[in-house]
Amino acid sequence: MESLIATNLKISLPQTQLTQRRKAVMCGLALCLLLTLAPILNLHVFDVLDDVAPYARDVCTLAGSFFALAVALVARTRPKWGSPNMLFALMITFFVVGCAGTSLGIANGFAPVVYVCASLSSIARTFAFMLVAVALSRMEQRLWRRALMHGFLTSCVLGALVYLLPPLVNIVLSYLLVAAAACLTVPMAKTVFDHQAQSDAPQDVEVTRPNTFLPLSAKLFWCLLLFALALGYSLRLGDTDGTPSSYAIAFAVILFLYVGMLVLKKPFPADILVRISAIVIIAGFLSVLLFETGASHVPNAIIGSGYIVFEMVSWIVLVSVACKNPLDAIPVIAWGRGIISLGVTVGAQVGNLTNWLSQATNLGVSVVTCVFVLLFCAYDMFVLHFFSFDETIHDLVPLKEVALSPKVLEAQVQDDVSLIDRHCQAIGESCGLTPKETEVFTMLAKGRNSAFIQEKLVVSKNTVKTHVKHIYQKLDIHSHQELIDFVENYTDK
């Protein structure tokens, strides 16, 4: 059975010449640059686009969202569809064509060109965010958490300062910041993309390691969606684009958390951070009732600062999950980013609706605001009360090994086949496995993956997952490696 354990290949991401500390500094800087993009885009870039293409900001956000969601699905199901080099070259092309085409479209007042090229730029920005998150996931937790805190603190300062810069300078910065952030993190992130393309599909590995992967339907992503709705709503409420006050409030909160982390020598639990963010956002919604819509930036500032805190939490959670499972890093990060962009777009439309209602009656604003407050309160009572971000991260079993192809496994375990068959049959009888479950159990013990089992038994992937779930329950195990250990220990008796 020792040869069976030798049939697994460890993920060992190559180390560059850069030290971990220097990598952390580069990632923190890249994150800061990308986070500073938000006020620049909302303050100047989207306003310029709206003059030519009125729905450009929504189209751009949706384009980035759909791209991220597509990357997540492909990385989960068909990671070998394209090479990382091709993907990186495509993103560079999108960025260059997008920036140049958008500028030309604005200069000539040609809306179709603006819509297409601005969407390409948005896709490139989304990819840059993914690069930074993936790069962070390749560092020690202590380092990437500090890098993340530094990035958010610095971006709060820069986010307030961009309001003092001329529009043209901000537009140029929107291009330069994306390029700089990508250049800082490409060397670190590309190794993960390369391993993803060379490994088995995560959905196949998930069948035998269910506790190692975070489902794309997890409550965590629904939480991201709800908070993103709040951000989109605040950005459009009263047709304001946020204020420096948002960054001042967020800076104070994040600085408090950072100092607390240094004093206590441990980070605050993600669950506490989420509740702090929710309280701030609810306070922002309630302040809407105290001010005439469009006459004050206070609601937008409070809601925006609450979301900035939550965005930091979302980075912590997604990067933590990616650290546990490098094979699922790209799908989880891309899916989270796509969900956030989608939520911002939907929330923005609710903000537009509120603005339209406010022109007729203030009662409409009150109704929409109360709905949001009820959503957050209901979420806290019925979802967060029974769900923990910290436990979600803790319960994920680290993925240390990736199975080799079935052909390689067959060549290495052929001498042990008859012994494995006998003992799997004995285990199946003693543990109450059905004949079909015993058959699946035997193939798992031989190192087979879900794709092989599907083809061998001529059943669907869901059927295989159901059999595996029942086997794990009856044997009281939680992973493929534990199954192999179970059989190995049995043979030693």
Alpha-helix residue ranges (DSSP H) falling in 167-296:
167-198, 202-208, 219-236, 244-264, 270-288
- Cα(426)–Cα(416) distance, integer angstroms: 16
Confidence of residue 123 (pLDDT cuts 50, 70, 90): very high
More confident residue, 405 or 352: 352
Radius of gyration of the chain (CA): 25
The answer to whether residues 240 and 293 belong to one domain is yes
More confident residue, 292 or 316: 316
- Of the residues 332, 364, 395, the one at which a domain ends: 395
Query: Does residue 4 lie within any of the structural domains?
Result: no
Element (H, E) at 145: helix 141-161
The predicted pLDDT at position 142 comes to: 80
Residue with tokens 């088995």: 200
Element (H, E) at 403: strand 401-403
Taking only the tens place, the pLDDT of each residue in 150-168 is 888 888 888 778 878 887 8
Q: How many residues are there in the chain? A: 493
- Closest C-alpha to 314, from 284, 335, 291: 335
The answer to whether residues 386 and 476 belong to one domain is no
Domain count within the chain: 2
The answer to whether residues 133 and 30 belong to one domain is yes
Query: Does residue 241 lie within any of the structural domains?
Result: yes
Residue with tokens 């993956």: 449
The answer to whether residues 62 and 208 belong to one domain is yes
The predicted pLDDT at position 361 comes to: 65
Q: What is the longest distance spanned by two Cα atoms in the chain?
A: 80
The answer to whether residues 269 and 163 belong to one domain is yes
Query: Does residue 14 lie within any of the structural domains?
Result: no
Q: Is 118 helix (H, G, I), strand (E, B) or coil?
A: helix
Taking only the tens place, the pLDDT of each residue in 266-302 is 777 878 888 788 788 778 777 777 765 444 567 777 7
- Cα(119)–Cα(57) distance, integer angstroms: 9
Q: Is the pLDDT of residue 332 over 60?
A: yes
The answer to whether residues 126 and 57 belong to one domain is yes
Q: Which domain holds residue 179?
A: 19-395
The answer to whether residues 374 and 459 belong to one domain is no
CATH number of domain containing 320: 1.20.1250.20
- Closest C-alpha to 26, from 140, 186, 166: 186
Q: Is the pLDDT of residue 11 over 50?
A: no
CA dihedral 325, 326, 327, 331 (to 10 degrees): 90
More confident residue, 453 or 248: 453
Confidence of residue 213 (pLDDT cuts 50, 70, 90): confident
Mean pLDDT of 171-192: 88
The answer to whether residues 304 and 444 belong to one domain is no
Is residue 320 exposed (0-12), middle (13-18) or buried (19+ Cβ within 10 Å)? buried
Query: Does residue 409 lie within any of the structural domains?
Result: yes
Mean pLDDT of 312-334: 88
- Of the residues 395, 414, 445, the one at which a domain ends: 395
- Cα(382)–Cα(367) distance, integer angstroms: 22
Taking only the tens place, the pLDDT of each residue in 229-260 is 877 877 776 554 445 566 777 778 778 877 87
- Cα(200)–Cα(203) distance, integer angstroms: 8
Query: Does residue 227 lie within any of the structural domains?
Result: yes
The predicted pLDDT at position 58 comes to: 87
Q: What's the whole-number average pLDDT of the chain? A: 79
CA 158-240-334 angle, 5° bins? 60
The answer to whether residues 110 and 251 belong to one domain is yes
- Of the residues 395, 412, 442, the one at which a domain ends: 395
In the chain, DSSP finds a helix count (H) and a strand count (E) of 23, 2
- Closest C-alpha to 176, from 128, 139, 114, 213: 128
Query: Does residue 13 lie within any of the structural domains?
Result: no
The answer to whether residues 35 and 175 belong to one domain is yes
Confidence of residue 384 (pLDDT cuts 50, 70, 90): low
The predicted pLDDT at position 245 comes to: 61
Residue with tokens 């290949």: 9
The answer to whether residues 277 and 377 belong to one domain is yes
- State both tokens at 264: 């206590």
- State both tokens at 72: 């997540």
The predicted pLDDT at position 128 comes to: 93
CATH number of domain containing 445: 3.40.50.2300
Query: Does residue 3 lie within any of the structural domains?
Result: no
The answer to whether residues 107 and 255 belong to one domain is yes
